[in-house]
Amino acid sequence: MLLFKNATILNDKFLFQKGDLLVENDKIKKIGRDLQADGAEVFDLQGKYLIPGLIDIHTHGCAGRDTSDGNYDDLKTMSRFQAQNGVTSYCPTTMTLPEEVLTKVFKGIAKYVKEENEGSNILGINMEGPYFSAAKKGAQNGAWLANPDVAQFRRLNKAAEGLIKLCDIAPELPGSEEFIREVKDEVKLSIAHTAASYEIAKKALELGVCHCTHLYNAMSGMSHRDPGVAGAIMDSDARAELICDGIHIHQAVIRNTYRIFTDNRICLISDSMRATGMPDGEYDLGGQNVIVHGTTATLKDGTLAGSATNLMGCVKKAIEFGIPMESAVKTATITSAEEIGEDDKVGSIKTGKQADLVVWDKDLNVEMVFIKGKKFK
């Protein structure tokens, strides 16, 4: 058993409260005042914050490793790095690649989920590509772009043993409407890497798309006469991902997006690539060369290519930009957990939920990390 005393706890209403928290086995047993438990390991968290472990539903890689390499041991390295930085659950995210490569990657992830339990938990897979527009492919490899294909998706999800939680599409592509109708009850569909108009995006949302990948990035722009994809997402109930690394989106847009969407509809993500946590240099992303300087990752032509920031860094940036601490954490935990259907297990500090917890000091540095009730850091 673990007993946390005198903590400032971010509760399941995402309000801070003073109190104690008891963990038994891998679950949160009790939250309250003056808790006692014989034999428990006690942590005095006076002056410290206790928050839910973060959940990154869009991350390609970190620590020199990448999901799309399809290497089993790389998942171990990535999971350890994520956990070290307070990300206790994540969805490995693929790139636009040939079907045979994606099949290998998905089989490897499914095998890892069944066999390993070290570091951050893998909750599912984010399938980013290949159903994208060439005009907005960004750092996706144009050689392997394809139109939405129901049979192919089902083959890939079978290889993944049903682990695909998000599947991204550009809704203007041929076959998109049929694809949405066919698979919307099998996977969460997300608008991504698209040149769609407001009208096309709105129709896709009406048909069953309910998510937007890295809002504002790799999509048609928004103006007062042509609201584009972003305008359609704002007009819907869909949730939207935000990359808050200080590079992909201006801080004023971050603040206003939180005002429009509220913290119920934003999923804060990192979109991190293998250079995250690594020195400046050149790295591979989906078969293309990426130049990394600081937290900026670009192709040689200057196109942004994911980020070199982990999700905890994005939460801190959001707070720096003026987002309330409670909202910044909420959008990196429970909103993402809800979006992939895992909120009954993780995403908030609540009795009965998995004990995935992060201890912050007063300066928001990660001091300790607990995953399934075991101390990782």
- What token pair was written down for 229? 């994809």
- Please give the C-alpha separations between residue 52 and each of 67, 285, 349, in angstroms, as whole numbers: 25, 30, 6
149 has catalytic annotation: no
Strand partners for 370 = 357, 375
Q: Cβ distance 330 to 25 under 8 Å? A: no
Q: Cβ distance 220 to 248 under 8 Å? A: no
Q: Cα–Cα distance between 250 and 241 in angstroms, integer? A: 15
- Give the angle subtended at the CA of 50 by the CAs of 264 and 315, to the nearest 5°: 50
Q: Cβ distance 146 to 131 under 8 Å? A: yes
**Closest C-alpha to 193, from 208, 176, 178, 207:** 176
Catalytic residue among 271, 284, 356, 363: 271
Burial, 210: exposed, middle or buried (Cβ in 10 Å; 0-12, 13-18, 19+)? middle
**Closest C-alpha to 144, from 275, 336, 314, 288:** 288
* Residues annotated catalytic, as ranges: 271
